[in-house]
Chains A and B, each alone.
Chain A
C-alpha cells in the first residue's frame, strides 16, 4: 500500500501570501490528484493528473511534482481558499490512498 504524507498538517496564511502544500508518497506514483473540502461540504476535484486544474478552479492554483514528491501551490492566498486539501494517488491500487489532509486557514 502506498502511504501519502501531507505537510504541513495545518497552516495559516495571510491574504496575498504564497502557499505551498506538500504530499510525499512512500513509493513512486505516476500522478497525483488534489481535492478541496470546505467545512460541512463534499470534497471537490481540484487538480488532476498532477498539474491540470479542474473546471472552475482559479488560476492562482497550480500543481507540480513527480515520482514521490508532489505539491499544490497558491500564488496569492484568498479568503475563499480556506479549506482542507487532500492528495490522492490513483496509479497503484488497490487500495487507492488519500493523504491525511492539510487544513489551510487565513490569518
Chain B
C-alpha cells in the first residue's frame, strides 16, 4: 500500500524557516518524481515544487523561487521541503504527492506563518 506521511509543520514567525518531510512507503521511491502542493485555509490547491526521481532537476512556482528548496533522499525514501524567509501568504496545508500525475497524496501538514 502506497503511503505518504508528512511531518514538520507548525507555527512559525514571518522571516523564519521550517523544513517539511514526507516519508514514503509501499513503492520504489527512487522511480518516481515527487511534488509538494499546498492549500491555504478555505482556498484551492496550488502546486509549489517538483523534483525528478534522481533529484537532478527541480521546479518551483515563482512565488517560492529562491526561498523554498525541494530535495530528496532516495536511500531514506524521504522527500523534503526547506522553507526559508517564510511569509504570511505561505500559511497553508502542505501535501506531498507522487509522480508525474500526482496519483497519491499524503494527509497534509499545516504550516502557519504568524507573529
Contacts and interface: CB of A to CB of B under 8 A. Distances in A.
Interface of A: 33, 35, 37, 42-45, 48-49, 54, 86, 88, 90, 93-101
Contact of A96 (B50, B62, B103): B50
A90 B100 CA distance: 8
Interface string B25-69: 000000000010100000011110010000000011110000000
A45 B47 contact: no
B102 A44 contact: no
12 contacts: A33-B102, A35-B102, A43-B37, A43-B45, A45-B102, A88-B45, A94-B47, A94-B59, A98-B46, A98-B47, A101-B44, A101-B45
Interface residues of B, number: 21
Contacts of A44: 105
Given A43-B95, A95-B59, A98-B45, 11 more contacts: A35-B102, A42-B106, A44-B105, A45-B104, A93-B50, A94-B50, A94-B59, A95-B61, A95-B62, A98-B46, A100-B44
Interface string B89-115: 000000100001111111110000000
Query: What does DSSP make chain A's interface, helix, strand, loop or mixed?
Result: loop
Nearest to B108: A42
Contacts of B44: 86, 98-101
B16 to A, nearest CB: 25
Contacts of B37: 43
Contact of A90 (B101, B104, B108): B101
Contacts of A42: 95, 105-108
